[in-house]
Amino acid sequence: MKLKRFLLRYFPPGITMEYKRSNGECVTKTIDLLGLTADSDPDQVAAQVVRDEQIAESRRPQVRKLAVELVEKMRSDPTQKFYLFKILRAHVLPLTNCAFNKMGDRFITGSYDRTCRVWDTMTGEELLTLEGHKNVVYAIAFNNPFGD
């Protein structure tokens, strides 16, 4: 496999590597940098990623540049903190998707269990269950432009 390019993910912080296989197929691998902070040293982050992922040493400057960008993003708004807020377990089978309304105070989940559920974002309370679908719920959305 040949490394084609790197893609940056701001939240949760990470770097995605895109590879091209000998048959032309593209595959990706994501490196989660969950321990990254505004005080992280980009040189150390780059060295660790290159070492752990067995990336060619010639690619280290690219990885360092991405680490610098992630650290700068964290420094730009030090009050912004991301953390696990709540775990909701209501569907019997895995989720297929999730969509938020425009205000962000409600969201809807679709599942392999053939149901949709509407939730209150802040409390995590289930507001409504939509049942009766004949198959897996693959697509969901709020009615825009109102989104309520």
CA distance 141 to 112: 16
pLDDT of 76 reads: 83
Q: 123 with 107: CB under 8 angstroms?
A: no
pLDDT of 135 reads: 93
pLDDT digits (tens, 9 = 90+) for 87-146: 888 888 899 999 998 888 899 999 999 999 999 988 889 999 999 999 999 999 888 665
Whether omega before 145 lies within 30 degrees of 0, making that bond cis, reads yes
Minimal CA–CA distance to 147: which of 109, 98, 107?
Answer: 107
pLDDT digits (tens, 9 = 90+) for 30-45: 999 988 888 999 999 9
Q: Which long-range contacts (CB under 8 A, 24 or more apart) does 63-69 make?
A: 63/6, 63/15, 66/6, 66/8, 66/15, 67/33, 67/36, 67/40, 67/42, 68/42, 69/8
Q: What are phi and psi of 61, to 5 degrees?
A: -60, -35
**Residue 73 confidence class, pLDDT cut points 50, 70, 90:** confident
pLDDT of 88 reads: 82
148, pLDDT greater than 60: no
pLDDT digits (tens, 9 = 90+) for 47-70: 999 999 999 999 999 999 999 999
Minimal CA–CA distance to 8: which of 30, 39, 26?
Answer: 30
